[in-house]
Structure 1
């Protein structure tokens, strides 16, 4: 048998980690001298330790490692590894979004961008015949994938859709997750509803406050701040219902983000 220091050298795992694995119940010494407290390990424990190290380096927590060791079958392990890959991918995307927001904050603090001013107008929106796809999505960034899904359905089923499209956000407040969004593409004729893809007539909106947002999508936040100022000054109007968004120029038809053009629409009612 080997003392803990010797076992550490032979396995290339620090004594600190060996003690941690023991405390966590993952790998106990083969024997502990009751008089000296010395811990001893055997060569037969090395393959088991290698499994622990492999799972640890794959991003598994102690609890997940313990569960995997208790069910060390190839099919179960492959499932757990795939789940861990999906978790890591999601974490990477979340960190990318945080990085983008940090860059936006840094740009604002350094004064690299002049404040944008948005002109708020009022117009009437008629009802439209549309092909609709409504779903709860993880966040607003996931809307692009939903548009690709709608486009793929239209191609597969030979649905002639107009280039005129818009999104309806059914949540009455800002949502950080689980966003209720409906994509609408104008159609001349209705077809058969299939799963989440439905044909319907959208509601007309007599009074729709709107503004145009030029440039990167990050400018949209400033547009909503302008809406707040406008509503504060024009208190004869009150916002209600579901807001809409039309991306006139975006990633699919414009390479330069500074040339993007988005229309934000908020329905309002006039107080009597």
Structure 2
């Protein structure tokens, strides 16, 4: 006879589990001391507990295990095991199906990731830009609302009946470290009209030299263009004289915008982000020219 502690060690089953099996009548103790109420188990109990453990590993319910333990009829055993085998085969098919679903999902994710490749960067270069008439709008906004600012800009273009003469541009005068909020100035080149100069937000951008790079790819990938352009400025001993400006050569906005359409401007959602073309320009002067100004 083995006390319950030793019996638990021999069978590698927790005492709490053995007591539970005893309480539900699945594994009765071989002997219970009437004075101490201690439970004892014999060798046959070891064999029975081993059977219970094996049948439980086959995912049989305790009710089914109890039915098999108390019934020595082999045909009854075969019937219960056959039913369990059918259940496990069905589970196996379901698991295989889910495994295949996961494989297909991984392939889809990989294909979609490959469908939006990394950005294509041009070489960096210097460009002399002539003075340019622009209409602007500037606000400190959350970046998620930049589309609203674009809409406001084109509503004003429509209201003042200005004729656009170039691509939408943006200057980020100040951007929070988390990049969720920024001081944004949107600019659109316009053809000067008789009363244009009276408009508060009509400006003439001065001519100057700019370090430039073109980024082909999603707007989220522009950071790599900024890094490459700033490195170029440093290597060429240039001095940055103003904030960078993004020129949206090809993107969500239509290529041409007529004044009568400006109020109802809508994003060109047919264009894939990998086809976006953005030009980043930074005003610069050479160190030699800076010394002359000093």
Normalising by structure 1, report the TM-score.
0.51
Query: Pick from 153, 157, 163: which aligns with 1:154?
Result: 157
Secondary structure of the structure 2 residue equivalent to 1:213: strand
Aligned-partner Cα distance in 2 for 1:118–1:271: 25
Find the aligned partners of 1:115 and 1:186 in 2 and give their Cα distance: 27
Among 185, 189, 197, which residue is 1:186 paired with?
189
- 1:271 deviation in Å? 0.6
Partner of 1:62: none
- Aligned residue for 1:252, secondary structure, equals coil
Q: In 2, are the aligned partners of 1:212 and 1:264 still within 8 Å (CA)?
A: yes
**Larger Rg belongs to:** 2
Corresponding residue to 1:168 among 168, 171, 175: 171
Alignment check: 8 A CA contact 1:136 1:179 kept: yes
Residue among 213, 216, 227 paired with 1:214: 216
Per the TM alignment, residue 120 of structure 1 is displaced from its structure 2 partner at its CA by 0.4
Which segments of 5 or more consecutive residues in structure 2 lack a partner in the other structure? 1-108, 255-267, 289-294
3-state SS in 2 of match to 1:242: coil
Whole-Å separation in 2 of the counterparts to 1:149 and 1:239: 30
Cα distance in 1 for partners of 2:232, 2:279 equals 16
Residues in 2 aligned to 1:240 and 1:130: alpha-carbon distance in whole angstroms: 20
The question of 1:261 aligning with 2:265 is answered no
The alignment partner of 1:264 has SS state of strand
Rounded Cα–Cα distance in structure 2 between residues aligned with 1:263 and 1:117: 10
Q: In the alignment, is the contact (CA less than 8 A) between 1:172 and 1:241 conserved in 2?
A: no
Alignment of structure 1 residues 63-74 onto 2, 5 Å? none
Question: Shift of the alpha carbon at 1:193?
Answer: 5.6
SS at match of 1:162: coil
> Which residue in 2 is equivalent to 1:144?
147
Contact 2:212–2:280 (CA under 8 A) maintained in structure 1? yes
Whichever structure has more helix as a proportion of its residues is 2
Deviation, 1:256, is 1.4
Aligned to 1:203: 206
SS in 2 for 1:171: strand
Count the aligned residue pairs: 160
Is the CA contact (8 Å cut-off) linking 1:118 and 1:226 kept in structure 2?
no
Which residue of structure 2 lines up, in the alignment, with residue 247 of structure 1? 248
The answer to whether the 8 Å contact 1:250/1:260 transfers is: yes
Q: Tell me the distance in 2 between the aligned counterparts of 1:175 and 1:118.
A: 27
Distance in 2, Cα, partners of 1:114 & 1:201? 36
Q: Measured at CA, do residues 124 and 248 of structure 1 come closer, stay the same or move farther in structure 2, by a change above 3 Å?
A: same
Q: 1:246, CA displacement in angstroms?
A: 0.6
How far apart, in 1, do the equivalents of 2:170 and 2:125 lie?
19
Q: 1:233 aligns with which of 221, 235, 244?
A: 235
Question: Are the counterparts in 1 of residues 213 and 279 from structure 2 also a CA contact under 8 Å?
Answer: yes
Q: CA RMSD in A?
A: 2.9
In 2, the alpha carbon distance for the partners of 1:249 and 1:256 equals 11
CA drift of 1:181 comes to 1.8
**Shift of residue 199 of structure 1?**
1.2
What is the TM-score of this pair, normalised by structure 2? 0.47
Per the TM alignment, residue 267 of structure 1 is displaced from its structure 2 partner at its CA by 1.3
Q: Which of 126, 130, 155 is equivalent to 2:134? A: 130
Residue 184 of structure 1, CA deviation: 1.5
After superposition, the Cα gap between the structure-2 partners of 1:136 and 1:230, relative to the gap in structure 1 and judged at 3 Å, is same
Check conservation: 1:208, 1:267, Cα contact below 8 A: yes
